[in-house]
């Protein structure tokens, strides 16, 4: 089975080939495990999540249309991690670990980069108007808080509060939306 590509293995799996499934698992379980473990920091739970991800592939083998198994598995693992976090209310450091894993995944997949850029623009547009303006002046035009305060005729403290509010909103909503996005891996990496 080692000579078959992932796509060929998926075809064989659709036809109930257990050896192909075992090969696919052996090729990709470790990357999924490392992703789950880095986010959760709970090895036992990470193992359970990986097994659930692969079980779903087997369970839905006849209906699934997966074109990039590596990207699909990473997204499925992250979705299962989110479910585990919701159920267990895992520690607050989860967001930092998730950001690191997301950055690794984005580096490998240009389609995800574009999707995430669009998502960030949408989130910025959802900020209150004063926060949007302050955020754009700071992050897009690279103005200092003092320059923004002078331009908008507000105090520096007001600029700080708006930026803090904006960043907190973006951090929270961005992480949640990235995890909840449907699998963006239907297209192969470019």
- For residue 54, how many C-alpha atoms fall within 13 Å in the half-sphere facing its CB? 20
The pLDDT score that the predictor gives to residue 43 is: 87
- Ranked by mean pLDDT, the top range of 21-25, 69-73, 171-175 is 21-25
21 assigned to some structural domain: yes
| CATH assignment of the domain containing 55 | 1.10.1740.10
11 and 81 belong to one structural domain = yes
Range of the domain at 141: 109-184
Q: How many structural domains are present in the chain?
A: 2
- First-to-final CA distance of the chain: 27
The more confidently predicted of residues 104 and 136 is 136
**What is d(CA 131, CA 40) in angstroms, rounded to the nearest whole number?**
32
Nearest alpha-carbon partner for 104 in 79, 74, 83, 84: 74
Neighbours of 18 (CB within 10 A): 10
47 and 123 belong to one structural domain = no
Of 63, 90, 117, which marks where a domain is finished? 90
CB of 57 within 8 A of CB of 64? yes
146 assigned to some structural domain: yes
68 and 113 belong to one structural domain = no
CB of 100 within 8 A of CB of 41? no
The more confidently predicted of residues 176 and 48 is 48
The pLDDT score that the predictor gives to residue 1 is: 75
Report pTM. Answer: 0.49
| CATH assignment of the domain containing 158 | 1.10.10.10
């Amino acid at each position: 089975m080692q000579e078959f590509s992932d796509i060929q293995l998926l075809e064989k799996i659709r036809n109930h080939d257990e050896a192909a499934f075992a090969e696919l698992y052996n090729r990709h379980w470790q990357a999924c495990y490392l992703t789950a473990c880095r986010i959760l920091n709970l090895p036992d739970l990470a193992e359970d999540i990986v097994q659930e991800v692969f079980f779903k592939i087997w369970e839905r083998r006849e209906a699934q249309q997966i074109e990039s198994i590596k990207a699909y598995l990473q997204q499925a693992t992250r979705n299962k991690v989110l479910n585990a976090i919701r159920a267990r209310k895992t520690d607050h450091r989860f967001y930092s670990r998730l950001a690191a894993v997301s950055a690794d995944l984005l580096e490998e997949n240009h389609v995800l980069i574009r999707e995430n850029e669009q998502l960030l623009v949408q989130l910025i547009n959802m900020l209150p108007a004063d926060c949007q303006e302050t955020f754009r002046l700071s992050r897009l035009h690279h103005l200092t808080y003092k320059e923004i305060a002078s331009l908008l005729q507000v105090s520096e403290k007001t600029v700080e509060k708006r930026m803090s509010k904006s960043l907190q909103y973006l951090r929270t909503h961005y992480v949640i939306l990235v995890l909840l996005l449907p699998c963006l891996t239907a297209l192969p990496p470019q």
